[in-house]
């Protein structure tokens, strides 16, 4: 019975996402990292090591002229203590999802509707919740790993080995975002 319920939830969630995505209108634009004033980061918090790597990335990308905001999904009913650190982003968990596993939090909707210059998807998993956030984001330029299910959401996909760590992907994303010419 749990398998049927989970499959139904997934189907409804994907249907809602596809419907909303088909109506999404955003100002697509290639944005060079050096010209970006706002950057959004999305990722799944798997452990403290990954959390600390993203925290360092936020620090490296933030400047007087650039604001960086991270949104992390914790696939649990509680948020670990290490996530409760000043200036490390916003974290949400299963309690912030509705019955069909899509966000019901006002903060997540605010993140989705903000027109970031660049949105970088640091995740490696194919979670519906992350697809929802990335797919419906109004960011001008969306960047992520090339992987099944997400290709229609990105403006720039970077091919990486399947098991390549997030830090390797972040390094490649920063490299390409630095050499790209803005229109």
Once rounded to an integer, what is the mean pLDDT over residues 131-159? 91
Q: What average pLDDT is seen over the chain? A: 91
Cβ–Cβ < 8 Å for 139, 115: yes
What is the Cα–Cα distance from 74 to 79, expressed in whole angstroms? Answer: 6
Once rounded to an integer, what is the mean pLDDT over residues 30-59? 94
Once rounded to an integer, what is the mean pLDDT over residues 5-27? 89
Which domains are seen in the chain, by residue range? 2-179 (3.90.1640)
Which residues have CB under 8 Å from 50's CB, separation 6+? 43, 166
SS3 content of the chain, % helix, strand, coil (to 5): 40, 20, 40
Q: What is the pLDDT of residue 154?
A: 93
Biggest alpha carbon distance in the chain? 53
- How far CA 118 is from CA of 21, 30, 37, 172, 178, in Å, comes to 18, 9, 9, 15, 12
What's the pTM? Answer: 0.93
pLDDT tens string 104-122: 889 999 999 999 999 999 9
pLDDT tens string 50-103: 999 999 999 999 999 999 999 999 999 999 988 887 667 899 999 999 988 899
Name residue, tokens 């490296």.
60
Cβ–Cβ < 8 Å for 112, 102: no
Q: Residue 1: is its pLDDT beyond 60?
A: no
Looking at the DSSP bridge assignments, the partners of residue 68 are: 39
């Amino acid at each position: 019975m749990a398998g049927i319920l989970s499959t139904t939830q997934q189907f409804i969630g994907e249907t809602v996402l596809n419907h909303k995505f088909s109506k999404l209108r955003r100002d697509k634009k290639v944005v060079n990292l050096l010209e970006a004033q706002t950057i959004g980061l999305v990722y799944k918090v798997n452990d403290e090591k990954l959390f600390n790597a993203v925290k360092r990335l936020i620090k490296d990308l933030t400047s007087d002229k650039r604001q960086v905001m991270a949104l992390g999904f914790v696939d649990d009913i509680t948020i670990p203590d290490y996530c409760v650190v000043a200036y490390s982003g916003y974290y949400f968990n299963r309690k912030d999802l509705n019955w069909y596993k899509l966000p019901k939090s006002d903060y997540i909707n605010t993140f989705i509707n903000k027109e970031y210059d660049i949105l970088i998807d640091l995740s490696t998993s194919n979670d519906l919740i992350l697809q929802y956030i990335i797919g419906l984001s109004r960011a001008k330029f969306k960047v992520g790993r090339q992987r099944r299910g997400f290709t229609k959401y990105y403006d720039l996909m970077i091919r990486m080995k399947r098991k390549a760590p997030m830090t390797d992907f972040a390094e490649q994303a920063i490299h390409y975002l630095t050499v790209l010419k803005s229109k």
